[in-house]
Structure 1
């Protein structure tokens, strides 16, 4: 890609608008189900393990299938895969909305995850094809990232409104009109791209990647909820072993599912790793702040969504403003500066002391979103720009997989720290005379404590609620400190490891002949 590449026309920008809708919807679908769980549980009465699968099977399948679907899109056509996935997503949404039992809902959610995995790499790789001009490509990827962040944050807002008006099934029907728009307008404004020379995706590699990611994410989720147990430990080890075997197999294949040569320049792997960690920080902060708003502050879902709007605006400013700033300052300086801003937001969350600190929590979350926006936006651009056009689908899938894994790790790793602090602070402060079963339930999560507190006598319930909320705030503050330290370390890493990195098509630095300083797309073409 050269600096003189053709600029996008109105059709490409309309295409971007079409691609932004499913991107935002996928992010919303990751959050709206949590709002519907009380009504859904009362209706279908799932067991604890079944409830886990209802919540997590969607994210598991998205993360597990992304790389495979990216490779399939390179072969069969990215627009075709996108449209097929849109139809499947709409059908699965209807099945989820009208599920009559737990098994049907789990199966429908699994189909939603598989369909979602076709949408994310297709949208990002099509942006690479539609926007050849480096500046416009950066702006387009920033907009794509901003809409994904927007969907994550407004999910509780829109889902809460539909839930109150129409019941739990309505949160799944949000996807149907969006997918209809994509199927109707996609063929009109989106280009098709395929590479006939790409071999059929290796079935064994596909199975290994899906099984490895599923095992790893499942194990991390279980550790976050129940601590380290034999089943979660075995799942994590199995996932890591499959990951090692997967990498070794890719090195032996003539046309691998993942092109390991992309990692040889250093910048690709560094950007991917930092994208995972930036998403980790974002997911962890949102996870705790949303619980703070609803369970500590006591806001209903719709009002909690309204208080999340400052974070929405901040994420979009950070993600969409970064491409404009990168032409005025060094990329590593911009990324490191953004991460330091995120560290300031984390530090602000560490000052939250109870329900009265609503403004501190909201401001801290907004500053975190503002600071992480450049890393998420430009990091994605670095990853996609590192791949040649014929492998853009696979590279896009790796970027999307990185964000999914980062989100899972944010809840599993950072979340486990917060829950450990919550349990430690709760044990010594439980009110006297509390039934053993109630105490054990309250130790699980703050949500469980709030639920059982409502069933106790008023005085005892209020005492339990006060202790549980205080314990959760301790966990929130601890995770905020951990996040601030991690953000500072990431800022230092960005300043040093990405000091020679440039966005695709940016002017070359003064020193010529340095492989690390060449444009990423030139270095791999």
Structure 2
């Protein structure tokens, strides 16, 4: 017997073959975006050797994509409601494909950073368009939940196949080839989208507040720039001014959101402690996942010495166990309070960081075990925190809560790479300063080796073995110590999150509804609010 919330809306029709074919198309961008995240980390050693970016440029290459997606997800959803969701999706697909080619053909760090920034802008058009179109195409509640599960599966599949596809491409082609799998997907989307995906415009679409978008970007990017420059060269006038400017602009952003009728970020949601605790936990969890993936991919290839394909294969168990953990969420939610699951997951994640920290220069098993455990415990916790974010918000603000959750996801990953990467770089550079390098290293090679581990590996390739081996040993040890400092700090962060959620989420009881409803009903309310 259907509950009141399960009952199909009056006039709802069941989706047919066209809608299900359209769903396959809409799931493909999710797969590509998830793949882009994992394959780029795998390609870092190769693009380092070819483009010779500085440590700061490398961090921008990795995380500028996430910062721009985080800042543009919500406004792009509103743009789609105004001009047409399908139109925005197809235009974004064309631009994403062009940006992928630009990234693949990049001839310098600056060009690659610009291409990654364009990928972030265009990627922000794909995610809200695909999700909102699913709510239009599938009006039957049961079919809509299945459709959302298929779409979510695209992200999971991308995380699993990304290291494998990236490993094969890097084994046989140049590093830029990792961006090209997006091309056939975007071409298929443009070719078949007009026939399989309906157009939709919302007559009540909100206004895009351009000043809020500009303020958000102007607050985040200078602050990140300041952190990276301080890690590279120590405190200085310019990075300190950038940090101060970011803080001031962040305060202006918050003030503006409080005054707007239709804010970019609805600050009223944070009055609910369950919402604040869940969003904070989710952002911190993805902060850790992004950071550890960044370090692990470099560690496996440039410290342990694995090929790209072998490194990718070693990460697959963690990805698969993360998917398996997600499938256990409905059962756990019926038997254990969500707050309890989240608390223990973060406590276990803190332990996984200590495994990675203990790896040393020859600890393949410990590094892989830590990476695998982190994925196993944090992925289910992310599902539960997303559910708690949506269900803790009033139904009429479910759309705003979902936008905050997605923004927190992308911002957490980008900040994880930026901040912990800067910490690791600072330790690395400090340990290689002065006369730490072995005798016989030419000045130009020494400068490259002191900046990044990728630079040290590239420099060693042009040196005789008697000089190259000691140089690599010193550089690898410095990288590992930087990784150890970063992962110990991450362990402290995750333990603090575990303690906080243990207090703030302790009142939430286990769900009493069936498993499928537990996972999808909050999302259904989100889409209903978006369609209102």
CA distance in 2, matches of 1:101, 1:448: 15
Query: Is 1:62 matched up with 2:106?
Result: no
1:445–1:43 distance in 2 versus 1, CA, 3 Å: closer
CA distance in 2, matches of 1:317, 1:95: 36
> Is 448-457 or 183-192 further displaced after alignment?
183-192
Query: Is 1:202 matched up with 2:202?
Result: no
Aligned equivalent of 2:405, options 399, 423, 426: 399
Residue in 1 aligned with 2:469? 462
Residue in 1 aligned with 2:422? 416
Residue in 2 aligned with 1:490? 497
> Is 270-279 or 134-143 further displaced after alignment?
134-143
Q: Where does the alignment leave 5 or more consecutive residues of structure 1 unmatched?
A: 508-518
1:449–1:51 distance in 2 versus 1, CA, 3 Å: closer
Residue in 1 aligned with 2:481? 474
CA distance in 1, matches of 2:23, 2:71: 26
- How high is the TM-score relative to the length of structure 2? 0.81
Q: Given that residues 398 and 529 in structure 2 are in contact (C-alpha distance below 8 angstroms), is that contact kept between their aligned partners in structure 1?
A: no
* Residues paired across the two proteins, number: 513
1:335–1:251 distance in 2 versus 1, CA, 3 Å: same
- What pairs up with 1:310-459 in 2 under 5 angstroms? 310-355=317-362, 357-385=363-391, 394-427=400-433, 429-459=436-466
- Kindly state the Cα deviation for residue 29 of structure 1 after the two structures are TM-superposed: 2.2
> Is 379-388 or 35-44 further displaced after alignment?
35-44
1:293–1:137 distance in 2 versus 1, CA, 3 Å: farther
Q: What are the Cα deviations for residues 408-462 of structure 1, in whole angstroms up to 9, with x where unaligned?
A: 2212332333334434444575324544554443232222222222222211211
Q: What are the Cα deviations for residues 47-66 of structure 1, in whole angstroms up to 9, with x where unaligned?
A: 88877765554334223322
CA distance in 1, matches of 2:357, 2:57: 35
**RMSD of equivalent CA atoms:** 4.0
Aligned equivalent of 2:222, options 215, 218, 241: 215
Aligned equivalent of 1:180, options 167, 180, 187: 187
Aligned equivalent of 1:32, options 35, 39, 53: 39
Aligned equivalent of 1:261, options 268, 287, 295: 268
CA distance in 1, matches of 2:366, 2:55: 34
> Is 342-351 or 210-219 further displaced after alignment?
210-219
Q: Given that residues 397 and 529 in structure 2 are in contact (C-alpha distance below 8 angstroms), is that contact kept between their aligned partners in structure 1?
A: no
Residue in 2 aligned with 1:4? 6
Name the SS of the counterpart of 1:206 in structure 2: helix
> Is 286-295 or 6-15 further displaced after alignment?
6-15
CA distance in 2, matches of 1:425, 1:44: 24
- How high is the TM-score relative to the length of structure 1? 0.82
1:168–1:482 distance in 2 versus 1, CA, 3 Å: closer
Q: Given that residues 226 and 239 in structure 2 are in contact (C-alpha distance below 8 angstroms), is that contact kept between their aligned partners in structure 1?
A: yes
CA distance in 1, matches of 2:391, 2:115: 35
Query: Is 1:83 matched up with 2:90?
Result: yes
> Is 108-117 or 11-20 further displaced after alignment?
11-20
Name the SS of the counterpart of 1:354 in structure 2: helix
CA distance in 1, matches of 2:390, 2:341: 19
1:59–1:141 distance in 2 versus 1, CA, 3 Å: same
Q: Where does the alignment leave 5 or more consecutive residues of structure 2 unmatched?
A: 515-524
- Kindly state the Cα deviation for residue 312 of structure 1 after the two structures are TM-superposed: 1.1
Q: Given that residues 64 and 116 in structure 2 are in contact (C-alpha distance below 8 angstroms), is that contact kept between their aligned partners in structure 1?
A: yes
Q: Given that residues 33 and 171 in structure 1 are in contact (C-alpha distance below 8 angstroms), is that contact kept between their aligned partners in structure 2?
A: yes
1:241–1:64 distance in 2 versus 1, CA, 3 Å: same
CA distance in 1, matches of 2:340, 2:272: 20
- Kindly state the Cα deviation for residue 273 of structure 1 after the two structures are TM-superposed: 1.4
Q: Given that residues 63 and 417 in structure 2 are in contact (C-alpha distance below 8 angstroms), is that contact kept between their aligned partners in structure 1?
A: no
1:380–1:137 distance in 2 versus 1, CA, 3 Å: farther
- Kindly state the Cα deviation for residue 278 of structure 1 after the two structures are TM-superposed: 0.4
Q: What are the Cα deviations for residues 366-421 of structure 1, in whole angstroms up to 9, with x where unaligned?
A: 00011111222222233345567776555433222212221222123323333344
